[in-house]
């Protein structure tokens, strides 16, 4: 008897952002995964090998940026240098090696104090304001160019481009309303740090002059008359996904940070109509986009932000609702996927327990399903059941090799 030769597979990695949780006292010490009706995700559990995963390491509280880099097989300690560059990539700025990027807020300054760090959660007109800010010329530091782009709501990104710049600069964000903004200062005695903090200070001053007189702001009770910058980072360009793995990868996402990671790795970033980073996202539109992408890409990543929002909101009822919506999406996908030809992974990037209202260091459940994978007895996808699975406890670093191996696309280490 001889079994047929194996075929190479594709992979769909579905990620429910921040869905992992802790037992909730108010809900009989159960987690949202345990309380959700989710027949399709549970079916995936039954079809695959289950386990728990620390995306960075046990106890470490991962950001969404660092954890996603790690889940795609990129060491965040090497490529993560602050959130700025990823945000800049997320809004579509063609960030280049050596650029310094900052996350920014449109804010309201009054009598020398930041009275609203979000300028009344401004939602319209920021593109026009940003256009104005791109006219700013830095004169105190030679050879520095300004690129400014609005993002969602009050958010925006500033990129300083030029030779000899450094992320070792403090920023001007006082991080609370009612305080005076800070003066950007070099964080080390090197010319690059001095150049960068001087350029940032000049930008902020000139931005204020332009913004406070802008017609859009004249009508606002809380004018977007000031820019707060934070999270300075210098892009360290990693090898592209395709050059690293030898096949094409696509990301279906709406969240700026996740799209930023996709751009950073030069993956195809797809945001279908109706897909948002909010509770209202059209998950079937996302599923369709992922299925379409699987025709032309070997690896497709499908990101759903909403359970993380519910975790940050401390709302377990909402989180259960999100998980059940995701379950509908998984059911829709499973009907159309051929498990003989596809590795389907379902997991989270980190836990966002409702009782913590932020990311925690608790591991997340994970299932890796495809025809022929080692099966275990786990039939429910949740934090406790997963600890009895065949994968046992892995880290994010292990995930991509496991996926590549099951796809039949991994090089042998040795002979």
Stretch 64-93 residues interacting with a second copy (CB under 8 A): 64-67, 76, 80, 83
Rule CB under 8 A: is residue 28 a binding residue for a second copy? no
**Which residue in the set 4, 112, 176, 189 belongs to the binding site for a second copy (CB under 8 A)?**
4
Of residues 246-305, those binding a second copy (CB under 8 A): 257
Residue 260 · residue 86 · CB < 8 Å: yes
Of positions 8, 39, 58, 94, contacts a second copy by CB under 8 A? 58
Smallest gap from Cβ 415 to a second copy, in A, equals 4
Question: In this structure, what DSSP letter does residue 24 have?
Answer: B
The answer to the question of residue 17 lying near a second copy (CB under 8 A) is no
Among 63, 162, 238, 272, binds a second copy (CB under 8 A): 63
The interface region with a second copy, picked from 104-112, 188-196, 281-289, 401-409 by CB under 8 A, is: 401-409
* Dihedral angle over CA of 353, 385, 17, 75, nearest 10: 100
The pairing of beta strand 155-161 with beta strand 226-234: unpaired
The CA distance from 108 to 225, in Å, is 6
In the region spanning residues 181 to 200, those forming contacts with a second copy, defined by CB under 8 A, are: none
State whether the Cα torsion 186-189-193-195 is positive or negative.
positive
Residues 101-120 that bind a second copy (CB under 8 A): none
* Contact predicate 162/139, CB 8 Å: no
The least CB distance from residue 255 to a second copy, in Å, is 12
Query: And the tokens for 177?
Result: 């309303």
Is residue 239 a contact point for a second copy (CB under 8 A)?
Answer: no
Indicate whether 171 belongs to the interface with a second copy (CB under 8 A).
no
Dihedral (Cα; 328, 330, 332, 334), 10-degree rounding: -150
Number of chain residues interacting with a second copy (CB under 8 A): 77
97 interacts with a second copy by CB under 8 A:
no
Does the footprint of a second copy cover residue 228 (CB under 8 A)? no
Choices 22-30, 89-97, 157-165, 246-254; region in contact with a second copy by CB under 8 A: 22-30
Stretch that binds a second copy, among 9-17, 58-66, 158-166, 176-184 (CB under 8 A): 58-66
Residue 252 Cβ vs a second copy, minimum distance, rounded to whole Å: 21
- Closer to a second copy at the Cβ: 181 or 256? 256
Distance CA 31, CA 384 (A): 9
| Upper half-sphere CA count for residue 301 (Cβ side, 13 Å) | 30
Both tokens of 334, joined, read 């499973």
**189 Cβ contact list (under 8 Å, min separation 6):** none
At its nearest, how many Å lie between a second copy and the CB of residue 254?
A: 17
d(CA 64, CA 256): 11
Residue 285 tokens read as 């539109």
One residue of 46, 61, 268, 339 binding a second copy per CB under 8 A: 61
What character string, x for contact with a second copy (CB under 8 A) and - otherwise, covers 339-358?
--------------xxxxxx
Task: Determine which residue in the list 14, 24, 88, 204 makes contact with a second copy, applying CB under 8 A.
Answer: 24
Nearest CA among 171, 186, 283 for reference residue 231: 171
* Alpha carbon distances (Å) from 169 to 87, 183, 184: 18, 10, 7
Q: Considering only residues 17, 308, 327, 383, which one is a binding residue for a second copy as defined by CB under 8 A?
A: 383
């Amino acid at each position: 008897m001889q079994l047929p030769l194996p075929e190479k597979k594709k992979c769909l990695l579905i990620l429910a952002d921040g869905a992992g949780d802790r037992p909730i006292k108010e809900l009989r010490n159960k987690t949202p995964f345990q309380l959700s009706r989710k027949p399709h995700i549970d079916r995936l559990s039954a079809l695959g090998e289950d386990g728990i995963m620390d995306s960075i390491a046990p106890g470490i509280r991962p950001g969404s940026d660092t954890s996603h880099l790690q889940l795609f097989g990129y060491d965040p300690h090497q490529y993560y240098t602050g959130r700025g560059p990823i945000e800049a990539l997320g809004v579509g700025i063609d960030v280049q090696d050596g650029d310094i990027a900052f996350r920014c807020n449109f804010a309201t300054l009054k009598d020398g104090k930041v009275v609203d760090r979000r300028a009344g959660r401004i939602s319209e007109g920021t593109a026009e304001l940003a256009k104005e800010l791109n006219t700013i010329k830095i004169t105190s530091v030679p050879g520095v160019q300004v690129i400014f782009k609005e993002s969602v709501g009050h958010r925006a990104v500033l990129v300083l481009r030029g030779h000899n710049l450094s992320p070792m600069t403090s920023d001007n964000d006082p991080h609370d309303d009612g305080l005076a903004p800070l003066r950007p200062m070099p964080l080390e005695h090197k010319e690059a740090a001095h150049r960068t903090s001087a350029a940032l200070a000049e930008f902020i001053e000139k931005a204020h002059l332009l913004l406070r007189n802008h017609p859009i702001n004249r009508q606002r009770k809380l004018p977007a008359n000031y820019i707060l910058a934070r999270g300075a980072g210098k892009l360290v360009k990693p090898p592209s996904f395709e050059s690293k793995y030898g096949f094409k990868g696509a990301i279906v996402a709406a969240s700026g940070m996740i799209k930023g990671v996709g751009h950073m790795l030069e993956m195809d970033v797809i945001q279908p109509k109706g897909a948002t980073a909010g509770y209202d996202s059209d998950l079937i539109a996302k599923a369709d986009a992922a299925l379409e992408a699987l025709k032309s890409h070997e690896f497709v990543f499908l990101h759903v932000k909403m359970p993380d929002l519910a975790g940050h909101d401390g709302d377990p009822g909402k989180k259960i609702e999100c998980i059940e919506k995701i379950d509908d999406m998984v059911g829709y996908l499973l009907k159309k996927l051929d498990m003989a030809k596809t590795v389907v992974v379902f997991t989270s990037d980190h836990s966002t327990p409702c009782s913590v209202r932020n990311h925690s260091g608790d591991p997340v459940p994970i299932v890796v399903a495809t025809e022929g994978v080692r099966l275990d007895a786990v039939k429910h996808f949740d934090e406790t059941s997963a600890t009895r699975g065949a994968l046992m406890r892995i880290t994010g670093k292990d995930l991509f090799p496991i996926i590549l191996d099951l796809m039949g696309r991994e090089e042998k280490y040795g002979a």
